Amino acid sequence: MEKLSNKEKMKIPRQPMPEQDPLKRNTNFSEVNLGFTPELAQKEAMRCLECKTQHCIEGCPVRVQIRDFITLVAVGDFLGAARKIKEDNLLPAICGRVCPQEEQCEIVCVTGKKGDPVAIGRLERFVADYERVNVGFVKQELKPSNGRKVAIIGSGPAGLSCAGDLIQMGYEVTVFEALHELGGVLIYGIPEFRLPKDIVKYEIDNLAKMGVEFITNSVIGRTDTIDELLSNGYDAVFVATGAGLPYFMDIPGENLIGVYSANEFLTRVNLMKAYRFPEFDSPIINVKNKNVAVIGGGNTAMDAVRTAKRLGAKNSYIIYRRSEKEMPARIEEVHHAKEEGVIFKILEAPTEYIGDENGWLKAAKIIKMELGEPDASGRRRPVPLKGSEYYLDIDVTVVAIGNGSNPLISQTTPDLNVNKWGNILADESGATSKEGVFAGGDIVTGGATVILAMGAGRNAAKTIDEYLKKKYEPQTEPVN
């Protein structure tokens, strides 16, 4: 293939992602983005300037070798590109779909200075899908078993990536998961239309084929404590239990029927398949032709409101107390939600829910806001506008204002230090206050991102390896 000059490369426009039509997709749960074709992928890859100083890598929390994999895509070596990505990221099909690339690798891509950045995430997704469809499971090289056992608590991205690295290093790895399905938020939180569950299951199956043992329906802190795991043969424990405890606003009426946390709403739809009603008779209020209000402006809020739309809601509202600029959700999700007909009520917040005589939600009292000075988060603080209250008819509300950590592990492990929000205190390497116990992902940082959780899992795997080598391998004296 002829080599293009940088000037010629800069003239190639960023290739659009093929998508389902908005008015069709808001009635189904199939994936919204359809993925690049090989032709689109190669054309997009040709936009990469193959920089000597790779700013894109600096933006990636797990330091995927972005330039090198894109160069392979440009010449049509898609499997070589997949191998290159997997040197640093075991779950590219997932990250290519849900990572906020616009704030990470793409924001620092040099082509973005004068035009649009290279679509790094879309290329990552293409390469991972190409390998899965055309080759299937590629067994990673495993070191022979060293006989040491590690328990991982939680099967979200932090737990899975830690398990993937440790099994390759020769450890015997068991993942304990409280739910009956594996995958953490990837399975119970992020909906099918953004991240097909088959893809998550495929990645987990691959880990099982590599030898990771998974035990579901096992709530550590109830079935066994961390101390019991350590005295029952596990040499180290990695805690990756996420941030699954939903916050509420503590306003009147939150106990009415029809008020859900986003976790509960999404779990019922994703895990219990409420979207395949009546085939699956899931215990969720039927929102068909009803008014649904989702409170919040993050990815969780967008997932909940777009889910409600797909379940047939007449009006699905986002109610967010700051302006759109401050919304933490990915730009793509906000854009997709609007295209699908979600109504955005910006600079507004509920102050009370009103129910009928049977305890069912029927309206919310909403107050309007204006933006004041920046608060501790750096975003401008919402200030209520006196006298601006009004009533909005709603049948269901989904509260998506954030999550905290479940206290079960800390309550049953007294020598594990936590901060005032209940997050486990761990340093960058994943080490905690308790010997042999490591932690990472949302349980340490609070609600963050998939890639940060994965990075934490990988760091912890390295630290656990160093810890166990130091503890069990004979230290040789220098010979002089």
Ligand X SMILES: Cc1cc2nc3c(=O)[nH]c(=O)nc-3n(C[C@H](O)[C@H](O)[C@H](O)COP(=O)(O)OP(=O)(O)OC[C@H]3O[C@@H](n4cnc5c(N)ncnc54)[C@H](O)[C@@H]3O)c2cc1C
Q: What residues line the site for ligand X (CB under 6 A)?
A: 98-100, 153-159, 176-179, 184-185, 189-190, 219-221, 240-242, 244, 266, 299-300, 303, 330, 406, 408-409, 441-443, 447-451, 453
Which of ligand SF4, ligand X, none interacts with 408 (beta carbon under 5 to 8 A by kind)?
ligand X
Q: Tell how strand 396-399 and strand 149-153 pair up.
A: unpaired
Which of ligand SF4, ligand X, none interacts with 185 (beta carbon under 5 to 8 A by kind)?
ligand X
The answer to whether residues 313 and 292 touch, using CB atoms and an 8 Å cutoff, is yes
What is the distance between the alpha carbons of residues 460 and 41, in angstroms, rounded to a whole number?
34
Q: Within 13 A of 373's CA, how many CA atoms are on the CB side? A: 2
361 has which bridge partners?
355
The answer to whether residues 430 and 438 touch, using CB atoms and an 8 Å cutoff, is yes
Q: Which helix (H) or strand (E) holds 207?
A: helix 197-209
Q: Which of 295, 347, 349, 342 is nearest to 325 (CA)?
A: 347
Q: Which helix (H) or strand (E) holds 175?
A: strand 172-176
User: Rg of the chain's alpha carbons, rounded to an integer?
Assistant: 24
73 binds ligand SF4 (CB under 6 A): no
Give the DSSP letter of residue 4.
Answer: P
Which of ligand X, ligand SF4, none interacts with 177 (beta carbon under 5 to 8 A by kind)?
ligand X
- Number of residues in contact with ligand SF4, rule: CB under 6 A? 15
Between 252 and 446, CB nearer to ligand X: 446
Between 113 and 325, CB nearer to ligand SF4: 113
- Stretch 304-333 residues interacting with ligand SF4 (CB under 6 A): none
55 binds ligand SF4 (CB under 6 A): yes
Between 64 and 392, CB nearer to ligand SF4: 64
Which of ligand SF4, ligand X, none interacts with 55 (beta carbon under 5 to 8 A by kind)?
ligand SF4
Please report the DSSP string for 358-415 in residue order. TSBEEEEEEEEEEEEEE-TTSSEEEEE-TT--EEEE-SEEEE-S-EE--THHHHH-TT
Stretch that binds ligand SF4, among 19-27, 63-71, 77-85, 204-212 (CB under 6 A): 63-71
Which of ligand SF4, ligand X, none interacts with 190 (beta carbon under 5 to 8 A by kind)?
ligand X
What is the distance between the alpha carbons of residues 395 and 95, in angstroms, rounded to a whole number?
35
What is the distance between the alpha carbons of residues 239 and 62, in angstroms, rounded to a whole number?
20
3-state secondary structure of 79: helix
43 binds ligand SF4 (CB under 6 A): no
Which of ligand X, ligand SF4, none interacts with 300 (beta carbon under 5 to 8 A by kind)?
ligand X
Which of ligand SF4, ligand X, none interacts with 242 (beta carbon under 5 to 8 A by kind)?
ligand X
Nearest distance, CB of residue 57 and ligand X, angstroms: 18
Which of ligand X, ligand SF4, none interacts with 179 (beta carbon under 5 to 8 A by kind)?
ligand X
Stretch that binds ligand SF4, among 62-70, 137-145, 323-331, 405-413 (CB under 6 A): 62-70
Nearest distance, CB of residue 53 and ligand SF4, angstroms: 8
Which of ligand SF4, ligand X, none interacts with 118 (beta carbon under 5 to 8 A by kind)?
ligand SF4
Which of ligand X, ligand SF4, none interacts with 371 (beta carbon under 5 to 8 A by kind)?
none
Q: Which of 266, 262, 276 is nearest to 29 (CA)?
A: 276
Nearest distance, CB of residue 183 and ligand X, angstroms: 7
The mark string for 89-128 relative to ligand SF4 (x by CB under 6 A, - otherwise) is: --------------------xxx------x-x--------
Nearest distance, CB of residue 34 and ligand SF4, angstroms: 23
Give the DSSP letter of residue 33.
Answer: B
85 binds ligand SF4 (CB under 6 A): no
Between 49 and 208, CB nearer to ligand SF4: 49
3-state secondary structure of 156: coil
What is the distance between the alpha carbons of residues 432 and 436, in angstroms, rounded to a whole number?
8
- Go through the chain and tell me how many residues it has: 480
- Stretch 183-222 residues interacting with ligand SF4 (CB under 6 A): none
The answer to whether residues 154 and 441 touch, using CB atoms and an 8 Å cutoff, is yes
Could you tell me the sign of the dihedral formed by the alpha carbons of 74, 78, 79, 85, in that order?
positive
12 binds ligand SF4 (CB under 6 A): no
Q: Which helix (H) or strand (E) holds 165?
A: helix 157-168
67 binds ligand SF4 (CB under 6 A): yes
The answer to whether residues 200 and 163 touch, using CB atoms and an 8 Å cutoff, is no
Tell me the residue type at 76. G
Nearest distance, CB of residue 134 and ligand X, angstroms: 26
Residues contributing to the site for ligand SF4 (CB under 6 A): 48-51, 54-56, 66-67, 70, 109-111, 118, 120
